[in-house]
Amino acid sequence: MPASVKGAVALRKSLRQFSPDLAKALPKEVAAALKPITKSARGYLPDQGQVLSGWLPRQMSEGRFPTYNARIVKAGIGYKTTPSKPNRKGFRSLARVFNKSAAGAIYETMGRKTPTSRFVQNQQGKYASSMKGDGKLQGRALFRAYDENNGKAREAVLAAIKGAADKLNKRATVRG
């Protein structure tokens, strides 16, 4: 579960308006906190040679099932430090790591619900990575990296937001 913060969006607006240097520094601090997760997540992804040949891109492979391209999958792992649009429940994410490629998502979550499927069975034991995490946060690459991060990134993000808010308040109360 993400940490719920109040007033972070308003804080960003205020920073942009009254303290542009802090507005630029905050995303950098957040990014620095998120980068280790994405870096280790990319490391958990298999290389092109490790993947079974049936899942690799091939000629006449215009089927609907996504093929695994290591370059695309690794590029699909990243982070985002700008507030998103509200979801159905009205929450806006302030910092996010994602694994957006289709093949990457398959590698991430395969076997969560159907651990005995033929595809999963074929893939099992071929890769060094194993699933980590709980529930919806269980996975082989991104979720594993997040789990192994032990909340350090979350703490750093929250500390960055709080630090920016404190600095802004401090500047606002200073009278020359």
Binding site for other proteins (CB under 8 A): 2-9, 33-34, 37, 76, 83, 86-102, 104-105, 108-109, 137, 139, 142-143, 146, 153-154, 157-158, 161
Q: How far is the CB of 79 from other proteins (least distance, A)?
A: 9
Q: How far are the Cα atoms of 15, 45, 139 from residue 112, in angstroms, in the given order?
A: 42, 17, 8
Q: Which of 162, 168, 13 is nearest to 82 (CA)?
A: 13
Q: How far is the CB of 22 from other proteins (least distance, A)?
A: 17
Give whichever of 9 and 172 is closer to other proteins, judged by the CB atom: 9
Give whichever of 22 and 149 is closer to other proteins, judged by the CB atom: 149
Give whichever of 49 and 63 is closer to other proteins, judged by the CB atom: 63
Q: How far are the Cα atoms of 11, 34, 142 from residue 146, in angstroms, in the given order?
A: 26, 9, 6
Phi then psi for residue 129, to 5 deg, are -75, 140
Q: Which of 1, 3, 5 is nearest to 162 (CA)?
A: 5
Q: How far is the CB of 4 from other proteins (least distance, A)?
A: 6
Give whichever of 84 and 122 is closer to other proteins, judged by the CB atom: 84
Query: Do 149 and 35 form a contact (C-beta atoms < 8 A)?
Result: no
Q: How far is the CB of 145 from other proteins (least distance, A)?
A: 9
